[in-house]
Structures are given as C-alpha cells and as structure tokens.
C-alpha cells in the first residue's frame, strides 16, 4: 500500500515537472521591463550619430565613390530636389534609419518576437527570437525593415535577460541614413548589428548600440542612441501617423512635383517644366 502510494506520488511529481517546464517556456519575468512609451533622450534627432551634427557633420566614413554620391545628393537638395532620400514619397526609412525613432516607440516582448512599434510611415519591425535561420531568398526579396534575428543574453548571470542582440540583413534600397541623403551602397548588402539594454542605474533609460556594415563605408560605423521612457500615470495615447495624409509631393515618372494649397500641380524646383501630357492630347483626337 505504502509502496503504491509512493509510486503514485512519483508519477504525479513527474507529470507536474513536465507541465511546469512547458508553462515556463515563456516566463515574462525573465525579460527586462520595456513596457510603455519610449522617445528620444535629449540630444537625439533625425540623424544617425546623435553625438554629431547633421549632414556633413556626421563625418560618415564613406568611400571616395560614395562621398561623391553624397555630394551630388546635397547639390540636388540645394536645387529643390530630394537627393537620394526616398521618404518624401512616403517610402519607409528602412533600417537603420527607423531607429531614429521619428515617433514614440513601443517595444512588445513575446516569446517568439520582440516587436518594435513606431507609428511613422512603415517603421515597425519584428525581431525574431524564435531560433529561426536566415531565409535563403532574403537577398532576392529584401524588405525596408530587413530581416532581424535576435537573441536575449543574460550578461550578469542573475537569471534575467538584460541584453537583446540583433542582426538585420536583407535590407531593401533605396535608403539613406538621414534626410540629407547619406547613402548606402547600391548592392543592398547592408548588415546592421544592435544591442538593446536598459541603463543599470536608470531603468527608464534605454541604450541602443548600433553598428552598420556596408560597402559604401570604409569601416563599420558604430553609434549609440538613447531613449527615455515617458513617465505618466495616465493611459498612453498612441497617435496615428499617416505619412501620405498630408504629403504634398507628387511623383510622376522620375520627377517630383508639389501640390499647391489649392490642389494643383506646381514645380518643386526652379525652372522645372510641367509633366509631359502627351497621353492626354491623344484622347482629344
């Protein structure tokens, strides 16, 4: 009788152990608290390296070839053009530029994915932490946000993850680092590496170490960005940001025009001719 009870108890122990292991496959207490709304810390801006001024002040380590591309972009913008920056058409900024965090950011951590949610053009990203491998066709099917695979790391051995390491590949062109049009290589082989972690002394400060590896650069370009959590006791309102809603740019073929306040086409640069309307003449015949 006693032996049967013991056997039964051991069986229960084994069953409970298995159940516990399954449930604890996702234990959110193991992850840092990244809830809430994150915005750029003071000093942040619409530029790659927040420690330096915009444009040429970034001192981007471009190759001679791509420094020339950049100079041509600056010249085009000086004449009213957009240079290589595609975002005026409401195309996504892509990686790594979405991490300028143009609008408040939300980070949603689940077992399989860490979602970076940013309401600006199409700036949201998925960082897959489900053990997947790189898709074989990602170079043929790139995305502006790229394909991001991440890994949580417990660097201090306290049983709780504190760093999210991410690598992003398969990033689509056209992209630039910033609105001045610092360019990426046309080969679309950019790789971005990131480390996200909370400040050890301030849990409301998030650091992002970001390194871009690109063939337009003479070396990997590493920067650090900082974000601060919005502290409020009120429910957070996430504002919808719809780029195309008030976009005054109209692209016809290779040309960009403006939309006037009265809804008519107008030039975007001096002496810009109107669009060729040859197909409309044909309907008049």
Partner 1 sequence: MLFRMWIATVVLTTTLAMGVTASAQELSKYPDWKGAWARFAIRGLGGQPSFDQTKPWGRGQEAPLTPEYQAVFEASLADQAKGGQGNFIDHSARCLPAGMPLSMVAFLPLEFAITPDATYVLITGADHLRRIFTDARNWPEEIEPSYQGYSIGKWIDEDGDGVYDVLEVETRGPFKGPRAFDATGLPLHFDNQSVFKERIYRDKTDPKILHDEITVFDHALTRPWVVDKKYVRTPNPRPRWTENNCMESNNLVAVGKEMYAISADGYLMPVKKDQPPPDIRYFKKYDR
The minimum distance between CB 23 and partner 1, in angstroms, equals 5
The minimum distance between CB 170 and partner 1, in angstroms, equals 11
For partner 1, which is the closer residue by CB, 64 or 133? 133
For partner 1, which is the closer residue by CB, 90 or 217? 90
The minimum distance between CB 98 and partner 1, in angstroms, equals 12
The minimum distance between CB 165 and partner 1, in angstroms, equals 19
For partner 1, which is the closer residue by CB, 153 or 252? 252
CA–CA distance from 134 to each of 3, 129, 138, 205 (Å)?
A: 53, 12, 8, 31
Residue 34's contacts (CB-CB under 8 Å, 6 or more residues apart) are: 107, 109, 198, 206
39 vs 97: CA distance, rounded Å: 15
For partner 1, which is the closer residue by CB, 224 or 242? 242
144 vs 175: CA distance, rounded Å: 8
The minimum distance between CB 49 and partner 1, in angstroms, equals 27
For partner 1, which is the closer residue by CB, 158 or 245? 245
């Amino acid at each position: 009788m006693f032996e049967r009870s013991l056997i039964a108890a051991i069986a229960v122990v084994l069953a409970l152990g298995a159940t516990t292991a399954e449930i604890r496959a996702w234990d959110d207490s193991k992850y840092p608290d990244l809830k809430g709304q994150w915005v750029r810390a003071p000093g942040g801006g619409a530029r790659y390296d927040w420690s330096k001024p915009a444009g040429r002040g970034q001192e981007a380590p471009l190759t001679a070839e791509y420094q020339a591309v950049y100079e041509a972009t600056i010249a085009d913008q000086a004449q009213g053009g957009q240079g290589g920056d595609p975002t005026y058409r409401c195309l996504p900024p892509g990686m790594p530029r979405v991490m300028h965090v143009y609008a408040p950011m939300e980070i949603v951590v689940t077992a399989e994915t860490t979602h970076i949610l940013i309401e600006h053009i199409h700036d949201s990203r998925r960082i897959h932490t489900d053990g997947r491998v790189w898709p074989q066709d990602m170079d043929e099917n790139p995305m502006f946000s790229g394909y991001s695979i991440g890994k949580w790391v417990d660097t201090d051995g306290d049983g709780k993850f504190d760093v999210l390491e991410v690598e992003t590949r398969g990033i689509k062109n056209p992209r630039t680092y910033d609105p001045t049009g610092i360019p990426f290589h046309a080969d679309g082989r950019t790789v971005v590496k990131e480390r996200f972690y909370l400040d050890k002394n301030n849990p409301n400060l998030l650091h992002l170490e970001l390194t871009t590896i690109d063939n337009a650069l003479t070396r990997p370009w590493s920067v650090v960005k900082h974000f601060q959590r919005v502290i409020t006791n009120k429910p957070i309102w996430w504002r919808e940001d719809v780029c195309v809603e008030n976009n005054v740019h109209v692209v016809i073929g290779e040309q960009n025009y403006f939309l006037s306040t009265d809804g008519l086409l107008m030039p975007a640069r001096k002496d810009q001719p109107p669009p060729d309307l040859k197909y409309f003449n044909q309907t008049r015949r």
